[in-house]
Chain A
Amino acid sequence: MAGSGVVTVYGNGAITETTKQSPFSVKVGLAQMLRGGVIMDVVTPEQARVAEEAGACAVMALERVPADIRAQGGVARMSDPQLIKEIKQAVTIPVMAKARIGHFVEAQILEAIGIDYVDESEVLTLADDENHINKHNFRIPFVCGCRHLRGAPHRPKGEAGTGNIIEAVRHVRSVMGDIRVLRNMDDDEVFTFAKKIQAPYDLVMQTKQLGRLPVVHFAAGGVATPADAALMMQLGCDGVFVGSGVFKSGDPARRARAIVQAVTHYSDPEVLAEVSCGLGEAMVGINLNDDKVERYANRSE
């Protein structure tokens, strides 16, 4: 159980006798509960409180926000568990934390301290450039990044910490476009398509039947204004991650609140106009055509 310090795979000590591990419905269920919400990156318990007050539906506990990771460089790792625990104490909303790609021990630690969601994130430095974490070994659910339609992605990768929405828009368009292509495909063609995108056939088939991803789809990377958030929602995302966009701006509390409102009322331009007024300075932003910018989204598939 949480806090005992012992990490056991396949859910030893599950609450009900009927299920030894967390069923898929419970894992996906939490993501479904987060739909239509905003998940904010926070680095201190105080920021977590600001996010909660603003109406964030979850917080992502980090050591540094992506914008700082960009600015300072170095190896970015999982946050200090102590910090994550403090943030968890401070708020009642779900707390997520990032683990490096392929670093399953970091994920085990996060599971042990009772985090609600693990983000296997390309923003942190890679631990394994070929393999991802085997999520079936864990009872906690995972989020992971995607650029195209593949496997079971949760989060289209924008360029984190840039304040530039272009990459996120491109990836969401790419995912949605692929789904539209897939929906018009003959069933026989799906085999080849699944092979081409290296995704399990049954998931691809399920996506085709549903006409949408069989998982919850959150936009991330570069969301800095309420309009950015509403844009991602109108493109068909289920919710939005906001990283550096809130706490790197002039008035975090106000901006956080405005983005939360924009996600709920994403299709109502009048409300969007109202909440976008007088938010103070937005984060500076980075133009991605600049050669010096490292592209995090290219780090893994």
Chain B
Amino acid sequence: MAIGVLALQGSFNEHIAALKRVGVKGEQIRKPEQLQNVSALIIPGGESTTMAKLAEYHNLFPALREFVKMGKPVWGTCAGLIFLADKAIGQKTGGQELIGGLNCTVHRNFFGSQIQSFEAEISVPEIVAKEGGPPSFRGVFIRAPGILEVGPEVQVLAEVPVPSDKAAKSDPAVENVEENAASEQKVIVAVKQGNLLATAFHPELTADTRWHSYFLKMLTEINQEASSSTSLSSEDLSFSEPPKYDLPIFQQ
């Protein structure tokens, strides 16, 4: 079965292109019934407010929650991370609907607006252990969220240092911490809980596909547990359709 990519708004084309690079077909999901045809789901980056509104108009939330509850792998990047979180702060007036399931608290636009968007080499030991490759991953953070708290069952996959001026501003609890300590402060940007994977940055915007193959392995593991012989490598990959042109991805 194919991997679904929630195609309401945002970087879904980029995700589908990244999946294609690792040899898997991505399916655009716009309606609840389309979820039945996929075995895993990626919720792309974009504006979480917009995506929540669109999901609400088309009554997608019950189906998405069901999908998460069934234990199928779901990966959220940026806006998708906010969707999966149990609790989000910094929302618009009136709040927004979330899917939930991931036991953590997310701060929307943690790093601030576009002018504070940045790129950083982040260390990803878990990914390196499973996928090999260089020890760090080039994370692109665009008006990115940050994960403030995680539950005990959540595995932290990556962290970045918080800019020192930001730490005091965004988190009143650490206001009085000395400057040295504040500059050492880190915020979580990638987590895994069971079959849920979430990243605050955008692996779909860079050429490195290790996160995508990591996510696919989560799916293969489930299939093996269910003693089903279908593996992703036997996926029917028909590349006969005309190539879909997309934006360039950024090489190192």
Contacts and interface: CB of A to CB of B under 8 A. Distances in A.
Interface string B53-78: 11001100000000000000000001
Nearest to B160: A16
Nearest to A2: B115
B50 A29 contact: no
Interface residues of A, number: 58
A54 B142 CA distance: 23
A245 to B, nearest CB: 18
A19 B115 contact: no
Contact of B53 (A18, A35, A54): A54
Given A16-B119, A58-B47, A116-B113, A26 B53 contact: no
A26 B246 contact: no
Given A93-B50, A265-B30, A14 B165 contact: no
B10 A36 contact: yes
A30 interface: yes
Contact of B115 (A33, A92, A114): A114
Contacts of B46: 33-37, 57
Interface string A173-215: 0000000000000000000000000000000001000111011
Nearest to A118: B114
B42 to A, nearest CB: 15
A30 B117 contact: yes
A88 B114 CA distance: 12
Given A16-B118, A33-B10, A26 B140 contact: yes
A23 B206 CA distance: 13
A52 interface: yes
A35 B114 contact: no
A15 B116 contact: yes
Contact of A116 (B119, B141, B143): B143
Interface string B223-247: 0000000000000000000000111
Interface stretch (B11-19, B97-105, B147-155, B191-199): B11-19
Residue among B30, B108, B119, B245 with most chain A CB within 10 A: B119
Interface residues of B, number: 52
A113 B109 CA distance: 16
A35 B11 contact: yes
B114 A56 contact: no
B47 A94 contact: yes
Contacts of B118: 14-16, 19, 22, 26
A216 interface: yes
Contacts of B179: none
Contacts of A15: 111, 116, 118, 163
Contact of A37 (B47, B57, B117): B47
Interface in A21-47: 22-26, 28-30, 32-37
Contact of B120 (A18, A214, A216): A18
Given A114-B112, A114-B113, A33 B53 contact: no
B11 A33 contact: yes
Contact of A260 (B11, B50, B165): B50
Nearest to B45: A33
B205 A25 contact: yes
Nearest to B247: A32
B37 interface: no
A141 B143 CA distance: 13
B8 interface: yes
Residue among B9, B92, B93 with most chain A CB within 10 A: B9
B55 to A, nearest CB: 10
Contact of B50 (A19, A22, A56, A111): A56
B121 interface: yes
Contacts of B108: 92
B90 interface: yes
A40 B6 CA distance: 23
A64 interface: no
Interface of A: 1-2, 14-16, 18-19, 22-26, 28-30, 32-37, 49, 52-58, 88, 90-95, 111, 114-117, 139-141, 206, 210-212, 214-216, 257, 260-261, 263-265, 268
7 contacts: A33-B142, A35-B12, A37-B47, A55-B57, A94-B143, A95-B113, A260-B54
